């Protein structure tokens, strides 16, 4: 066997052992060997190596088998042997999450910045914050990697932002190289909505699905797409830019949507927090609707609160928002035919009425079967979806798939 192939198979075996012990431990060496379909000798060698790295540890002897004999030594996964760091960068803040290898949260922090035009300075502050949270040099060496969620289109090869509306000054800056040099570990970068999608897929509303579309609604509109368990980026890494979908020819006019529709051309111009707030304010100023809201106190939170109190204008505005979202959702269902659509972001978090309206509208699609089969849910992770998704980029080798198919990997071995 070629040396490179030998190392490849050994690594696959090691990951398989880790997954089994993590998911089913405490467990004996012989039981791991049985589940993997390999010899106890192979498992013994792998376990010896992993015990030396502190990723596995022995916790004593288990019960004897029905055949009797010596009681087996039980193995347990040491989730605290390594750390994963997830960072989500926004317009004026960065959220930081540090977890163990089971994605259990150990530390959480936020770095605020009013000026986002100096990426080097902001990243230096983020690094110092991570060092402070972790505590000492020995623990810093246990960081397995850092996941970075960033707004805009990514240039994955160079590890930088190709294009971003909110972080314009960051375009072209070598983010990955800078962070890898500063922290001496592997760094992964990804678009923020795609990262949120990964978070929901691994630990949130999407855990039981393989084909998922995540729709994010807030200051902008975007989607993350998972096909057969893998994030789909597209040839230019711009898959999911549903905000650019044209509104025309979808039966949207001022008569049907008098509050929110004002001649916008794309869904990304109408399905945003900013448009909802500005059109509410315009309606109050024109005094054409009955409402208890004040034009000088319009915010998403206040709109949501007013709707709960059955304020007519607030309720109608959110109904329009939900129905417009439902129209877009029909296009998403017919294009991708997913088993699950997750909706998240500030609008969904604060206004559950929007999800209800969007779901009812989507289920009216003339192409009945896809609309009937698809499930539509709210995201489960709220503000932590992005940072947990970033952690997921670091831990993905441990978390998917649950058990490596050894027969498939054996077929890749090329004899010497």
Asked whether 47 and 31 are in contact (CB, 8 A), the reply is: no
Instruction: Specify the 3-state DSSP secondary structure of 343.
Output: strand
Q: How confident is the model at residue 412 (pLDDT cuts 50, 70, 90)?
A: very low
User: How confident is the model at residue 405, as a pLDDT?
Assistant: 45
Q: How confident is the model at residue 158 (pLDDT cuts 50, 70, 90)?
A: very high
The answer to whether the bond into 140 is cis (omega within 30° of 0) is: no
Looking at the DSSP bridge assignments, the partners of residue 95 are 88, 110
Q: How confident is the model at residue 408 (pLDDT cuts 50, 70, 90)?
A: very low
The bridge status of strand 105-112 relative to strand 143-150 is unpaired
Q: How confident is the model at residue 9 (pLDDT cuts 50, 70, 90)?
A: low
- Summarize pLDDT for 363-393 with one digit per residue, the tens: 887 667 777 889 999 999 999 999 999 999 9
Say yes or no: do domains 3-80 and 207-380 share a fold: no
Enter the CATH code of domain 3-80.
1.10.10.10
Looking at the DSSP bridge assignments, the partners of residue 74 are 28
Residues of the chain with pLDDT > 90, as a percent, come to 62
Residues of the chain with pLDDT > 70, as a percent, come to 90
Angle between helices 300-308 and 312-336 (to 10 degrees): 110
Phi, psi for 237 (deg, rounded to 5):
60, 20
Enter the CATH code of domain 207-380.
3.30.420.40
**Lowest mean pLDDT, pick from 84-88, 93-97, 329-333:** 329-333
Mean pLDDT to the nearest integer, 155-170: 94
pLDDT of 85 strictly over 90: yes
- Summarize pLDDT for 198-232 with one digit per residue, the tens: 999 999 999 989 999 999 998 889 999 999 989 99
Asked whether 318 and 303 are in contact (CB, 8 A), the reply is: yes
User: How confident is the model at residue 366, as a pLDDT?
Assistant: 61
What tokens does 39 get? 């010899």
Q: Distance between CA 365 and CA 145 in Å, rounded?
A: 44
User: How confident is the model at residue 368, as a pLDDT?
Assistant: 73
- Summarize pLDDT for 96-147 with one digit per residue, the tens: 999 999 899 999 999 999 999 999 999 999 999 999 999 988 889 999 999 9
Q: How confident is the model at residue 265 (pLDDT cuts 50, 70, 90)?
A: very high
End-to-end alpha carbon distance in the chain: 5
* Spans of all domains in the chain: 3-80, 82-200+386-398, 207-380
User: How confident is the model at residue 411, as a pLDDT?
Assistant: 37
Q: Distance between CA 355 and CA 342 in Å, rounded?
A: 10
User: How confident is the model at residue 416, as a pLDDT?
Assistant: 37
Asked whether 76 and 92 are in contact (CB, 8 A), the reply is: no
- Summarize pLDDT for 322-372 with one digit per residue, the tens: 999 999 999 999 999 999 999 999 999 999 999 999 999 998 876 677 778
User: How confident is the model at residue 409, as a pLDDT?
Assistant: 39
Q: Which residue has the tokens 């992770």?
A: 381
The answer to whether the bond into 139 is cis (omega within 30° of 0) is: no
Asked whether 96 and 87 are in contact (CB, 8 A), the reply is: yes
Better-predicted residue by pLDDT, 318 or 2: 318
Q: How confident is the model at residue 84 (pLDDT cuts 50, 70, 90)?
A: very high
Report the sign of the C-alpha dihedral through residues 354, 356, 357, 360, in that order: positive
Better-predicted residue by pLDDT, 400 or 90: 90
Instruction: Specify the 3-state DSSP secondary structure of 122.
Output: helix
| Topology classification of domain 82-200+386-398 | Nucleotidyltransferase; domain 5 (3.30.420)
Q: Distance between CA 228 and CA 231 in Å, rounded?
A: 9
Asked whether 217 and 271 are in contact (CB, 8 A), the reply is: yes
Q: What is the mean pLDDT of the chain?
A: 88
pLDDT of 3 strictly over 60: no
- The arrangement of strands across the sheet holding 221-227 comes to 230-231, 221-227, 212-217, 340-344, 375-378
Better-predicted residue by pLDDT, 107 or 255: 107
User: How confident is the model at residue 60, as a pLDDT?
Assistant: 81
User: How confident is the model at residue 328, as a pLDDT?
Assistant: 94
């Amino acid at each position: 066997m070629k040396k490179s192939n030998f190392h490849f198979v050994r690594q696959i075996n090691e990951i398989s052992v880790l997954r089994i012990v993590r998911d089913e431990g405490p467990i004996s060496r012989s039981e791991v060997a049985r589940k993997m379909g390999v010899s106890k000798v192979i498992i013994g060698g792998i376990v010896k190596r992993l015990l030396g790295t502190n990723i596995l540890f022995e916790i004593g002897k288990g019960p004897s088998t029905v055949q009797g004999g010596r009681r087996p030594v039980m193995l347990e996964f040491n989730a605290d042997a390594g750390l994963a760091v997830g960072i989500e960068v926004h317009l004026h803040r960065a959220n930081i999450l540090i977890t163990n290898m089971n994605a259990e949260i150990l530390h959480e922090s936020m770095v605020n910045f009013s000026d986002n035009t100096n990426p080097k300075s902001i990243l230096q502050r983020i690094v110092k914050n991570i060092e402070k949270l972790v505590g000492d040099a020995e623990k810093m060496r246990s960081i397995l990697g850092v996941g970075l969620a960033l707004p805009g289109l990514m240039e994955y090869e160079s590890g930088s932002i190709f294009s971003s509306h909110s972080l314009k000054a960051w375009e072209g800056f070598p983010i990955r190289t800078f962070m890898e040099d500063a922290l001496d570990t592997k760094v992964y970068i990804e678009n923020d909505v795609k990262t949120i999608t990964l978070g929901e897929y691994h630990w949130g509303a999407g855990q039981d699905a393989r084909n998922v579309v995540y729709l994010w609604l807030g200051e902008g509109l975007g989607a993350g797409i998972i096909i057969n368990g893998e994030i789909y980026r597209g040839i230019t890494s711009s898959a999911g830019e549903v905000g650019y979908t044209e509104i025309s020819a979808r039966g949207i006019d001022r008569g049907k949507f008098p509050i929110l529709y004002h001649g916008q051309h794309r869904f990304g111009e109408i399905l945003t927090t900013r448009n909802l707030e500005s059109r509410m304010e315009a309606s109050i100023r024109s005094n054409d609707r009955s409402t208890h809201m004040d034009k000088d106190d319009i915010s998403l939170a206040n709109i949501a609160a007013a709707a709960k109190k059955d304020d007519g204008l607030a309720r109608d505005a959110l109904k329009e928002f939900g129905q417009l979202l439902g129209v877009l959702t029909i296009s998403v269902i017919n294009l991708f035919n997913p088993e699950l659509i997750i909706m998240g972001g500030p609008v969904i978090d604060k206004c559950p009425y929007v999800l209800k309206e969007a779901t009812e509208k989507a289920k009216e699609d003339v192409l009945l079967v896809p609309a009937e089969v698809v499930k539509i849910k709210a995201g489960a992770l709220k503000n932590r979806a992005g940072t947990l998704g970033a952690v997921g980029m670091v831990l993905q080798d441990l978390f998917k798939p649950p058990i490596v198919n050894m027969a498939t990997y054996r077929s890749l071995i090329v004899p010497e």
